[in-house]
Structure 1
Amino acid sequence: MRIYRIDHIATVTPDLERQAGLLEGLFGFRRLSTWDNRAQGARGVRFAVPGSSGQVWEVLAPSGDNSPIQAALDDNGGRAGFHHVAVEVPDLDAAVRELDELGITTTTQSGWVEASLTPPKSGKGVLFRLRGPGSLALCGDEAAVPAERTEPDGPTLGILNVDHVCQAFPDRDELAAWYAALAGFVQVWRTPIDEHPDMADLVLNIPGSSICWEIIMPRGDDSFIDRFLSRNGPAVHHVTFQVSDWDAALAACAHHEIPTFDDETGVTDGAAWKHTFIHPKHAGGVLVQLFWEERPGVWVRSDKIPPES
């Protein structure tokens, strides 16, 4: 199965305007369009993400009766959270046939297909929405209307791009091999197995996309990843954004009264890097990681991949 590109990352929320205001005010996202499709049970907003040309962020809320978005919220205890990654494929029917052959359950919607693209034996994983050539609708947004552009009220994070989506999984190499065989994901970075006491990770490039995919796995007797997996299964753990100015990003968080945690700084090959996190309760139900690097490539280094023997 070939992925042409990532179209968007979507979250769900019970309070659409509050979440939209957070994304515009703190994150500096620009509202593109809005819709309310009661027949499909969804209303939403599409946002342009700085530095992510052609790849947007969507927020969905329930509309009408028997809304699947309300069902997703109910499954999450009524809380906002991550919902899906939407991708374009060159041949949707062929993709469905391939997924069926792999034992992956697909659900056909209005112009798109939903599937959890994680090994079936691992349980429910990350929900993907796939669409082929033709209709651009993926979230009941066939009749979306352009949104009035608004300017942020105060400082923003100064986001440069969406760097990667991170998924937790018991074995990073098993899932990396799965994604490579399924859709040609290519490994571009990995930590040595003993670099961190409670985790190990690797990063995959998604052909056709500037957004990468990170896999983190637990190590040791008391890994935070084990606790995450026991609560959520092999789900999305966090989404990472690069910022242009570290001090300005932290000042924006302070201005909007958004705390950060787990700060870390370092120097690699003489160049500095920093990262921190925003808790899901302050970021629309998604754990957000922010990073800054003095020189491209010093925070995530491609030369950490061992050479092939």
Structure 2
Amino acid sequence: MSRISPATSSHGKEISPVARFWAEFRESKVAVMALAVVVLMLGVAIFAPLVAPQNPYDLANLVLMDARRPPGFVGSAGYTHILGTDAQGRDLFSAILYGLRISLQMGLIAGSLAFVVGVTLGVGAAYLGGRWEAFIMRVIDLQLAFPAILLALVLSALLGQGKAQLIAALAAAQYAYFARTAHGAASAERGKDYVEAVLSTPLPAWRVVLKHIFPNCLPPLIVVATVQVASAIALEATLSFLGVGLPVTEPSLGMLISNGFQYMLSGRYWISIYPGIALIVLIVAINLVGDRIRDQVNPRLKR
């Protein structure tokens, strides 16, 4: 039996790059399961108002008599708190769903902002060259010398609490990773013959960058973006746990863990444990998807 080319299907038709990528991606059952977990958690986060039995942000619906109740407790509202309640009387299952929504929102928005800023600086530095390249990359190298959590913590303390402030702090702490990756990929493309040929034409600089250099830098940037989204979620949870993230009226997973930390030794483990499990599952699943994508875009890492 003749072997079918990876660029064609069993019917002899050409396979699109996306279909070919997915066909290779699904060869890893672990990666497919991780992607399914990410999609599931993203879905329940988006439709949290329809899935959650309670709105944990509505203070009028919280009953202090229902606070710190164990899993399976039937509250005063008449429904069962399957994961128990926290110290404010919130249904923990509902709080986790809304917390997932905030964590994913912060991770995706901050990661996207860091991507735009970092890629602009990295590709721009590679294209400009000379003193501008040296200046931009030395500033980025200086930032990479500091841990991201330290920068995010300092910026959050300076900017104050709020979604916009937290997104700015997370993006400022992570854009350097995109910039370094984009600069390395763009520098390699910048020296190739096809770029030199395009530069000899009267095309504007922005078109050369967007049409010819940037598309060839995407594979490593996609891998970094996947990892940095998970990192942004972990950073946001850490800052909220330390009390410098989002306000208490919008509890994220990190704040839910923090709220229950003081009750760990008193036997009320569920207040911190269940949000912690949700956070770990989300971060691990995103990282597993990122690892699989990394293996696909780098042939030397393929098994």
Give the TM-score of the pair, scaled to structure 2.
Answer: 0.25
Higher-Rg structure is 2
Tell me which of the two structures has the higher relative contact order, counting C-alpha pairs closer than 8 angstroms and 6 or more residues apart.
Answer: 2
Structure whose residues are more often strand by fraction: 1
